[in-house]
Amino acid sequence: VLDGNIAYLKIQHIIGEEMAQKVGPLLLEYIWDKVLPTSAMILDFRSAASGELSGIPYIVSYYTDPEPLIHIDSVYDRPSGITTELWSMPTLLGKRYGSSKPLIILTSKNTLGVAEDVAYCLKNLKRATIVGENTAGGTVKIDKIKLGDTDFFVSVPVAKSINPITNKSWEIDGVAPDVEVPAEVA
């Protein structure tokens, strides 16, 4: 916790549902319960370059109210042709930070993938202010495909995020900050 009763959480990987079930109680006890009573929060995504799709509703839900449920994202899976809607969650492990305390997300050109998605969702819900650099413009999911009988693989984007508010994706262009500053001073 920083001066002024401001929470600071550096996040490098957004865990998914399965991992949250395993380590959630520890995260609550040693981190979340300590930052919950703060007046504002900073999420530092400047070096967040990985994450699980199933973690998106978890993180976004901690910064929204339990009702009404909010359609926060749609993810189109190219191989199956199926679009999955992601909604805020009515119940969570532990308490919510809520929708009224200030939330700032720090970004850089290295912020990638699922972290970009979370930032884009919270920005367009008008729940967070994004400070830093335009993000990388990656993708929410990449598969590695083996090339024939060789030891070579190619990484291919296999899903696309479509925001229900903007009907656009942050992929390729990245997430533009509300306040643009070099990442090292954000």
Residue 151 domain-assigned? Answer: no
Within-domain flag for 115:
yes
Strands 103-107 and 129-132: parallel
pLDDT of residue 8: 97
Report the pLDDT value the prediction gives residue 25, as an integer from 0 to 100.
87
Amino acid at residue number 136: A
Q: How far apart are CA 141 and CA 12, in angstroms?
A: 16
Whether the Cβ atoms of residue 121 and residue 57 lie closer than 8 Å to each other: no
Q: How far apart are CA 118 and CA 116, in angstroms?
A: 6
Query: Is 163 among the domain residues?
Result: no
Residue 161 lies in a domain: no
Whether 64 is covered by a domain: the verdict is yes
Pair 118, 62: CB distance under 8 Å = no
Establish if 128 belongs to a structural domain.
yes
**Which residues constitute the domain of residue 104?**
6-69+90-140+172-185
Rounded to an integer, what distance in angstroms lies between the CA atom of residue 56 and that of residue 182?
Answer: 26
Q: What percent of the chain has pLDDT over 70?
A: 100
- 78 occurs within a structural domain: no
Ranges under pLDDT 70 in the chain: none
- The CATH number for 65's domain is 3.90.226.10
Torsion-angle region of 122 (φ positive above 0: left; ψ -120 to 50: alpha; else: beta): alpha
pLDDT tens figures, 124-171: 999 999 999 999 998 888 888 888 899 999 988 888 999 999 999 999
Domain count, the chain: 1
Query: What is the pLDDT at residue 146?
Result: 87
13 located within any domain: yes
21 burial via Cβ count (<10 Å: 0-12, 13-18, 19+): exposed
